[in-house]
Amino acid sequence: MKDNPFVGIAGNIGVGKTTFTEVLAKKYNWDEYYESVIDNPYLSDFYGDMNRWSFNLQIYFLQHRFAGQLEISNNKKGVIQDRTIYEDVKIFAKNLFELGHMSKRDWQTYQNLFKNMVQFLEPPNVIVYLKASTDTLISRIKNRNRDFEKNIDVEYLHQLNSCYNNWSKNEKELNIITINTDNFNIFKDKSKLDEICKEVEESI
């Protein structure tokens, strides 16, 4: 494993990215960068009316993660990031456009903005994609009981899963490893966690 790596944690809503980020950050003494969820001013409105708020939400996430990744590039320690900027455009915004929640004009503007931003960024050394079935995601979302997620559309989650699976299989420019988490409890399955950590180390 190289010194001071940049590791991204990818995955659908509710899969356990934040928990996984916390565990690996503690294990390796890496600095953590988290997705802006609790203080996001658009998220609750978005789940209530995706057509109206999808572009606003994605622009908010894009600028937040761009700022975070610029900060990461100046960090001299190892870094782990909860969700990457690449997922914003290749998973979430794309899915909203394909479902009809984002207009073609907004989708094109979003892609152009991303292309202009990403040229200034260094990609992670590895992206760990945490994979789970839609049923598993729904169960985990219910267990964490966030108010703004109570009305989340199951079909929306299912479509995101399809996007993630296609991306992880077909992405050529990023180093991605896939971890199936359906039957994995990070707090109880120490041997499995050790296997995952070894795979991450070997991928950096």
- Which of these is catalytic: 3, 39, 45, 82? 82
Known catalytic residue at 39: no
Give the list of residues 6+ apart from residue 168 with CB closer than 8 angstroms, or none: 10, 129, 131, 176, 178
Q: What's the first-to-final CA gap in the chain, in angstroms?
A: 5
The whole-angstrom separation of Cα 34 and Cα 46 is 20
* Nearest-5° Cα angle at 203, 187 to 67: 80
Residue type, position 64, single letter: H
Selection from 87, 176, 173 nearest residue 122 by Cα:
173
- Give me the active site residues, please: 82
